[in-house]
Amino acid sequence: MKTGLFIEGGRPLPPVLAAFFNRAGYQLVPLQLAQDTWPFLVKSAAALLLMLPDSSQGMFLLSGQLWHRYLLDEAPECQVLFASYQAVSHPNHLDILELPTAPTNWIAQAFPVGEMKNLPPVEGMDLQEKLHRFFAGHGDDSIVAVLSRIRLVVQMASREQQRMNTPYPEIFQELVAPAQLDKKWAEWRNRWINYYPLFENTPIAVKLHSIARAATQVEDWMMTGGRDEESLVNGTILRILNDIRKELQQIEKQYVVQKLSYPYR
């Protein structure tokens, strides 16, 4: 038996689909994205089955393009297969209401991830487009731009303190307080909480959770406008902001800058 991983995406796997893959010689195993081991499981799996669209946050979301990108980079041997209740025709898509009669043949004819010229046009919210907006959607007001402005203030304050030995009360008065970090942070936070839960069934979920945890660590400092001297002087705030920036840059590089060469819909 080969191992096929599947992501339910908030929708129960219908028994008929498990039986279909069993007949093709696959055992379907749920992929738990909360576990650190999932990338290794994907690398060794014969196929990854996505139930589309994901049901999450009261919406139906399409994670297929992000998974396709991930598999191209990290597990090109793993086939990506899609299943939905929509009447969509595509070699890698299963219409659950009208499953093919010969499962083995169907899987054999599905394209390997590197040879897919397009993805099945399943209806739902395109998370690839959503992620693009997450990074660049509002121009200067993108989530990264807002974070960069915050980080710049913290970086300048840190340098001023470390290199010039300027007393922090003075730095606070001259630089940090006028920057209104509490307001900037609230703005960033509002954007962030709007976006990141949408990606819980995607390959970037773990990174986003990590950013969320890091953001919580600087929350109090930000919301008091950067008044606490110690957290800035010991470098904690800048280090956390740098970590967040690094994670976001990695996501952007892999999933946004490297645009896919085919249209999704």
Can you give the binding site for another protein, defined by CB under 8 A?
A: 11-12, 14-16, 19, 53, 55, 58-60, 85, 87, 96-99, 123-126, 129-130, 132-133, 138, 141, 186, 189-190, 193-194, 219
Q: How many residues does the chain have?
A: 265
Could you tell me the CA-to-CA distances from 136 to 174, 188, 250 in Å, in that order? Answer: 31, 14, 15
Shortest Å, Cβ 59 to another protein: 6
Residue 5 or 222: the one with the smaller Cβ distance to another protein is: 222
Residue 246 or 265: the one with the smaller Cβ distance to another protein is: 265
In angstroms, rounded to a whole number, what is the distance separating the alpha carbons of residues 226 and 185?
Answer: 11
In angstroms, rounded to a whole number, what is the distance separating the alpha carbons of residues 212 and 240?
Answer: 11
Shortest Å, Cβ 216 to another protein: 8
Residue 11 or 90: the one with the smaller Cβ distance to another protein is: 11
Could you tell me the CA-to-CA distances from 34 to 7, 70, 200 in Å, in that order? Answer: 12, 17, 9
Question: Which of 176, 183, 49 minimizes the C-alpha distance to 120?
Answer: 49
Residue 189 or 227: the one with the smaller Cβ distance to another protein is: 189
Q: Rg of the Cα trace of the chain? A: 22
Shortest Å, Cβ 214 to another protein: 14
Shortest Å, Cβ 57 to another protein: 9
Shortest Å, Cβ 112 to another protein: 27
In angstroms, rounded to a whole number, what is the distance separating the alpha carbons of residues 82 and 121?
Answer: 11
